[in-house]
């Protein structure tokens, strides 16, 4: 069985290759950045992932993200180990994904340089659990490239990630997620 | 009684020692690690495209050594570089993120290289992290 995301990317790729409308510009990256911050009374934890894949459809506003859990890197090896083995169970759930839309895409002109606020909503899947998420992001368009950034919070418990009581002062219940993507035009 | 206290102190010291060691445990030394598997970029991508779950069972989280033809070399703003190794599929590569101390100045598209790193799975590309150049 092929993985779902694998199928998704193949499907997107086929769609892109066969897209008839020349105006429907797509943007993508394979090395976007997502980091998260946990600010608990005893400890601040930060991890960065620089291998984020994302596709944005400039016409429909459809937007997709996928990350590999094992590509999140921590300063401390022990934290990275606990994150993978105890909390996110990356051996069992190697990916996290977001599938959604920029709801106000009609008000955003990606062909005109400028700064836009995007209302984003969709479904986030982490640790095998899917939850609706909505947030805002900033799009900075210049010369055919788009810099997209967003900051939002998620509750660890929403994704059935269990934090043992002994470390409850070390790991925050709400973590902050920061997204920074440099989209490139997909040449057709 | 004194002896008990002494034993307790020694045990506590060992406990603290182990704790400090664990806390400061370094990341796996990939340069020195023996690869769990050795493969080519084309075979690795093919294995992932055929059956992602089975491929993850073999490669996910493992230190692997991968050989292939360089499709592209990129250096990010933070100074780290990545090398894309070609597969038979134009849309999919093996994306190798190099450790900060690795020098890619002599590497160009078309070169044959071998890298060693930790496989973290597949998105569009199969991703191998914390890579060191073998040749």
What pLDDT, in 10s, does the model give residues A98-145? Answer: 999 999 999 999 999 999 999 999 999 999 999 999 999 999 999 888
- Cα gap A79→A82, rounded to integer Å: 5
What pLDDT is attached to residue B56?
Answer: 96
CA distance A83 to A70: 9
Residue of B22, B53, B95 with shortest CB distance to A78 = B22
Q: Which residue of A has its CA nearest to B45?
A: A6
Span B62-121, pLDDT tens digits: 999 999 999 999 988 788 899 999 999 988 999 999 999 999 999 999 999 999 999 999
Yes or no: say if B73 and B108 are a contact pair by the CB < 8 Å rule. yes
Asked whether the beta carbons of residue A30 and residue B123 sit closer than 8 angstroms, the reply is: yes
Alpha-carbon distances of A182 from A10, A11, A51, A55, rounded to whole Å: 22, 22, 12, 11
Backbone angles phi, psi at B63, to 5 degrees: -85, 120
Asked if B121 lies within 8 A of A94 by C-beta distance, the reply is yes
- For the segment B12-25, what is each residue's pLDDT rounded down to a tens digit? 999 888 888 877 88
> Along the 188 residues of chain A, how does pLDDT read in single tens digits?
446 667 666 666 666 555 444 456 899 998 899 999 999 888 899 999 999 999 999 999 999 999 999 999 999 999 999 999 999 999 999 999 999 999 999 999 999 999 999 999 999 999 999 999 999 999 999 988 899 999 999 999 999 998 888 888 889 999 999 999 999 988 76
Closest Cβ–Cβ partner in B27, B53, B124 for A53? B124
Q: Which residue of B has its CA nearest to A55?
A: B124
Size of interface A-B (CB pairs under 8 A): 78
Closest-CA residue of chain B to A89: B61
How crowded is residue B77: how many other Cβ atoms within 10 Å of its Cβ?
6
Tell whether B27 lies on the interface with A, counting CB pairs under 8 A.
yes
């Amino acid at each position: 069985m092929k993985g779902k995301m694998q199928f998704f990317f193949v499907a997107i790729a086929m769609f892109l290759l066969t897209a008839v409308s020349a105006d429907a510009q797509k943007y993508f990256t394979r090395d976007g950045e997502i980091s998260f911050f946990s600010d608990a009374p005893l400890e601040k934890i930060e991890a960065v992932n620089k291998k984020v894949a994302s596709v944005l459809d400039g016409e429909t506003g459809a937007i997709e993200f996928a990350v590999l859990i094992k590509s999140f890197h921590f300063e401390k090896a022990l934290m990275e180990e606990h994150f993978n083995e105890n909390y996110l169970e990356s051996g069992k759930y190697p990916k996290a994904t977001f599938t959604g839309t920029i709801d106000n895409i009609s008000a955003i002109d990606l062909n005109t340089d400028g700064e836009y606020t995007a209302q984003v909503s969709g479904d986030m899947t982490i640790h095998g659990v899917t939850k609706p998420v909505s947030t805002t992001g900033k799009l900075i368009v210049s010369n055919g490239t788009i810099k997209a950034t967003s900051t939002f919070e998620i509750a660890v418990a929403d994704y059935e990630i269990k934090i043992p009581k002994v470390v409850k002062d070390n790991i925050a219940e709400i973590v902050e997620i920061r997204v920074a993507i440099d989209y490139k035009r997909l040449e057709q | 009684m004194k002896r008990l206290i002494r034993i307790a102190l020694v045990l506590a010291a060992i406990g603290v020692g182990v704790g400090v060691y664990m806390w400061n445990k370094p990341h796996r030394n990939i340069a020195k690690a023996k690869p769990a598997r050795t493969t080519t970029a084309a075979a690795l991508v093919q294995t992932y495209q055929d059956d992602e779950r089975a491929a993850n069972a073999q490669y996910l989280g493992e230190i692997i050594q991968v050989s292939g033809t360089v499709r592209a070399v990129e250096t990010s703003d933070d100074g780290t570089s990545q090398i894309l190794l070609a597969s038979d599929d134009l849309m999919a590569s093996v994306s190798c993120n190099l450790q900060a101390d690795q020098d890619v100045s002599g590497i160009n598209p078309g070169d044959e290289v071998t890298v060693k790193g930790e496989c973290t799975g597949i998105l569009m590309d199969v991703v191998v992290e914390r890579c060191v150049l073998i040749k």
